[in-house]
Structure 1
């Protein structure tokens, strides 16, 4: 496994983790009734997810062009982080809406 591969894996994990953390900050802000801050954090969470998605899209594009990407436990772990971040961000968005209706 080469360094470039590990950089891709770590990039996905890093961006996904940033997104999840920002979504959690949004949830904390919403609990305090600061919906402007919650909105700002959610925008940042979306941006971080877009960064992770762009890394993933690059992999998919290369795969479609015939450049096979090795799938191992590291890549599975990175994809797991990404999917969990997406799910968490989506749920936080729902919770924020609930807090706003209080």
Structure 2
């Protein structure tokens, strides 16, 4: 189980890290006024983020079924990265919305 936990933690980190990068790029792109590209980056980031979120959900399902899930530093890091990526997603959505309002004002 420990090796599986390590693998899932690394999968979460890889997926949500990629998503976070796309969310940051979406923010920068929206700030430059390229809203179609920003929305595309946001969408791509959401798809990849969801893959990491699903991997995390599998751990929660195993835990709920009675499996022992030993929390280690790598899993904590994975969860922190997931929360950080989600924060950047929300910020990207807001920056895109603000940029759209400025263009249509």
- Fold-level similarity (TM above 0.5): yes
Unaligned stretches of 5+ in structure 2?
Answer: none
Unaligned stretches of 5+ in structure 1?
Answer: none
Instruction: Report how many aligned residue pairs link the two structures.
Output: 102
1:37 counterpart residue number = 37
1:59 deviation in Å?
Answer: 0.4
Instruction: Give the Cα–Cα distance (whole angstroms) in 2 for the partners of residues 20 and 42 of structure 1.
Output: 10
Which secondary structure state, in structure 2, belongs to the residue aligned with residue 10 of structure 1? helix
- Let me know the Cα RMSD of the aligned residues: 1.3
The TM-score with structure 1 as length reference comes to 0.92
| Contact preservation (8 Å) 2:19, 2:85 | yes
2:96 counterpart residue number = 96
The TM-score with structure 2 as length reference comes to 0.90
1:15-56 per-position Cα deviation (integer Å, ceiling 9, x unaligned): 111111001111121122111111110001111110011001
The 5 Å alignment of 1:72-91 reads 72-91=72-91
Instruction: Give the Cα–Cα distance (whole angstroms) in 1 for the partners of residues 28 and 48 of structure 2.
Output: 18
